[in-house]
């Protein structure tokens, strides 16, 4: 994959995209997704793994709410990955991840993922470049395993916001009561490491691209949610799923 | 790895090996293993995965009893893999395996393992040759993952018995009260598929040999247990482990 330069990619929607229009389209897609998810579950032939990555305040939680709220939770699961526990750290970095790989018929959303193990860890010097390379190879093998051996469609999204937009959202968390619970002083420290995060994200896109990344302009939440929903809808459509007949 | 022909490998101990003598040596090694396991646990730097494969009645359960009984069970765990459950089958074949990978400091024994997924399944035509090849590649990647990303030493043992010895042991199960609980009429059907099992075992040794196999002559249980214990002892010795000092 050609090297992606994040600074060359717009974080805003293209000029000719209309907000009201896009919201109407999203609403229609959500209706289709509801039906498609039911079909995925009934057919039980594929599974979907949605990897959501992005900087703090990029809108990962909001995406989950916007796109997956209307689906039957029996077939949809969200797994947020936080800092690893001591037990998790006493295993290889994919151990805790693999356990949450989706069963056939299921949609699993990773809110952060195994990619943190080559991002945050690198930015903070917990692993060196050599280990990062080994991990990227292991990640490729792991994603292939899911795809080849369990019919898992892996969809990887990077929610791309500008540094300016991030700062403004982090500041909001100090001011708006409904957002204060998300406030974390550490986020401002992390924000200062922006350039290094961008560099390591670009490394992840370059070396872990056997299964492609979708870079989603995310300064506007309505556009971000629309793009992700549309990508998922198109992928599910392409599977030519059918309801099984009666069991004999 | 050069192709192994099982029929060319003796299932009996070499002629000059004395039973009483070997049993004394085993007993000494077990004492050393007890100490080494304690050190492994205390140091918490490596983990050990012991994969035990073999035909029905090859002595897998007996091996576990002979070699690991004297170790502290807090640091040792045995996981027997049986026929997969519906939940396990709705994931990739390594999903249930990975969950039991040993934490640092631990010894994990797999009584049967991911290798059944390229043996029994092939013999019974559940997977074709193409899938078997893909699985063997995935197995190599998986074993590398454990080794590179969690300091896991993977020791793979094939308990090699003759077809004649197997039949005699299966017949014993119909006659000796303490062994009857192991009797399973299916084992005799499986026994008829001996040649195909041998062929697919040879395929596994050939294509999954990045981490080498130890072929253990197993017609005599005392020799089998001695060889496995010795291999494990030598490996643990080679790790140059040290007790950590006081935590600061």
- Per residue in A49-91, pLDDT (tens digit) is 999 999 999 999 999 999 998 899 999 999 999 999 999 999 9
Mean pLDDT for chain B overall: 95
User: Which residues, at least 6 apart from B24, have a Cβ–Cβ distance to it below 8 Å?
Assistant: none
**Is B2 a domain residue?**
no
- State residue A233's pLDDT score: 98
Task: Give me the residues paired with residue A109 across strands.
Answer: A50, A78
**Is B63 a domain residue?**
yes
pLDDT at B1 exceeding the cut of 70: no
Work out the pLDDT band at B177, boundaries 50, 70, 90: confident
**What is the rounded CA–CA span in Å between residue A188 and residue A163?**
11
**What is the rounded CA–CA span in Å between residue B202 and residue B205?**
5
Chain A residue at shortest CA distance from B100: A95
Domain hosting B63: range is 26-238
Q: Which helix (H) or strand (E) holds B164?
A: helix B163-172
> What's the gap in Å between the CA of B152 and the closest CA on chain A?
9
**What is the rounded CA–CA span in Å between residue A107 and residue A105?**
7
B8 touches A at CB < 8 Å: no
**Is B21 a domain residue?**
no
Percentage of chain B modeled with pLDDT above 70: 98
DSSP letters, B34-85, are HHHHHHHHHH-S-EEEEEEEESTTSSHHHHHHHHHTTS-TTSEEEEE--SPP
Q: A161 near A219, Cβ under 8 Å?
A: yes
Alpha-carbon torsion (A237, A241, A242, A243), positive or negative: negative
Task: Give me the residues paired with residue A159 across strands.
Answer: A54, A216
Percentage of chain A modeled with pLDDT above 70: 98
Dmax over Cα atoms in chain B, in whole Å?
A: 61
**C-alpha pair distances (Å), B64 with each of A48, A63, B61, B82, B106:** 40, 50, 5, 16, 15
- State residue B181's pLDDT score: 85
**Is A222 a domain residue?**
yes
**What is the rounded CA–CA span in Å between residue B246 and residue A78?**
41
- A143's tokens: 């994603």
Q: Which helix (H) or strand (E) holds A214?
A: strand A213-217
What tens digit of pLDDT does each residue of B110-142 get?
999 999 999 999 999 999 999 999 999 999 999
- State residue B183's pLDDT score: 83
Could B149 and A101 be called an inter-chain contact, meaning their C-beta atoms sit closer than 8 Å?
no
Three-state SS for A119? coil
B247 touches A at CB < 8 Å: no
- State residue A209's pLDDT score: 95
A1 vs B118 pLDDT, higher one: B118
Tell which residue, A38, A206, A104, has the closest CA to residue B92: A104
Could A90 and B101 be called an inter-chain contact, meaning their C-beta atoms sit closer than 8 Å?
no
What tens digit of pLDDT does each residue of B48-72 get?
999 999 999 999 999 999 999 889 9
> What's the gap in Å between the CA of B153 and the closest CA on chain A?
13
Could B149 and A135 be called an inter-chain contact, meaning their C-beta atoms sit closer than 8 Å?
yes
**What is the rounded CA–CA span in Å between residue B22 and residue B27?**
9
* Cα of A68 vs its chain's centroid, Å: 13
Q: Which residue reads 């003796």 in tokens? A: B10
Beta strands in A118-180 (DSSP E): 152-160
pLDDT at B246 exceeding the cut of 90: no
**What is the rounded CA–CA span in Å between residue A213 and residue A208?**
9
Work out the pLDDT band at B166, boundaries 50, 70, 90: very high
Percentage of chain A modeled with pLDDT above 90: 88
Chain B residue at shortest CA distance from A139: B145
> What's the gap in Å between the CA of B188 and the closest CA on chain A?
31
- State residue A1's pLDDT score: 60
Phi, then psi, of B213 in degrees rounded to 5: -90, 145
Work out the pLDDT band at A170, boundaries 50, 70, 90: very high
The CATH code of the domain that includes A66 is 3.40.50.300
Residue B160, CB-side half-sphere exposure with 13 Å CA sphere? 24
**Is A247 a domain residue?**
no
**Is A233 a domain residue?**
yes
Q: Which helix (H) or strand (E) holds A65?
A: helix A60-68
- State residue A19's pLDDT score: 97
B145 touches A at CB < 8 Å: yes
What tens digit of pLDDT does each residue of A225-236 get?
999 999 999 999
**Is B14 a domain residue?**
no
Counting the structural domains of chain A, the total is 1
**C-alpha pair distances (Å), B244 with each of A87, A153, B38, B40:** 19, 45, 12, 11
Work out the pLDDT band at B13, boundaries 50, 70, 90: very high
**Is B246 a domain residue?**
no
A179 vs A101 pLDDT, higher one: A101
Could A148 and B134 be called an inter-chain contact, meaning their C-beta atoms sit closer than 8 Å?
yes
Burial class (CB in 10 A: 0-12, 13-18, 19+), B194: middle
Could B145 and A138 be called an inter-chain contact, meaning their C-beta atoms sit closer than 8 Å?
yes
């Amino acid at each position: 994959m050609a090297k992606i330069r994040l600074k060359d990619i717009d974080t805003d929607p293209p000029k000719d995209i209309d907000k009201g229009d896009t919201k109407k389209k999203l609403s229609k897609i959500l209706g289709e997704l509801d039906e498609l998810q039911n079909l995925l579950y009934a057919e039980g032939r594929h599974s979907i793994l949605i990897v959501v990555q992005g900087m703090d305040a990029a809108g990962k939680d909001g995406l989950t709410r916007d796109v997956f709220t209307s689906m039957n939770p029996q077939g949809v699961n969200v797994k947020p990955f936080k800092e690893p526990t001591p037990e998790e750290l006493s295993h290889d970095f994919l151990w805790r991840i693999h356990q949450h790989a989706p069963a056939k018929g299921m949609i699993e959303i990773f809110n952060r993922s195994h990619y943190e193990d080559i991002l945050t860890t690198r930015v903070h010097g917990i692993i060196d470049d050599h280990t990062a390379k080994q991990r990227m190879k292991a990640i490729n093998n792991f994603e292939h395993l899911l795809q080849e051996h369990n019919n898992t469609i892996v969809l990887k999204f990077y929610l791309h916001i500008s540094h300016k937009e991030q700062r403004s959202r982090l500041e909001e968390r100090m001011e708006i009561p409904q957002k204060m619970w998300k406030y974390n002083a550490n986020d401002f420290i992390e924000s200062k490491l922006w350039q290094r995060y961008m560099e390591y994200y670009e490394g992840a896109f370059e070396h872990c691209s056997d299964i492609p990344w979708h870079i989603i302009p995310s300064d506007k939440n309505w556009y971000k949610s629309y793009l992700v929903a549309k990508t998922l809808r198109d992928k599910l459509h392409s599977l030519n799923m059918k309801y099984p007949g009666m069991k004999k």
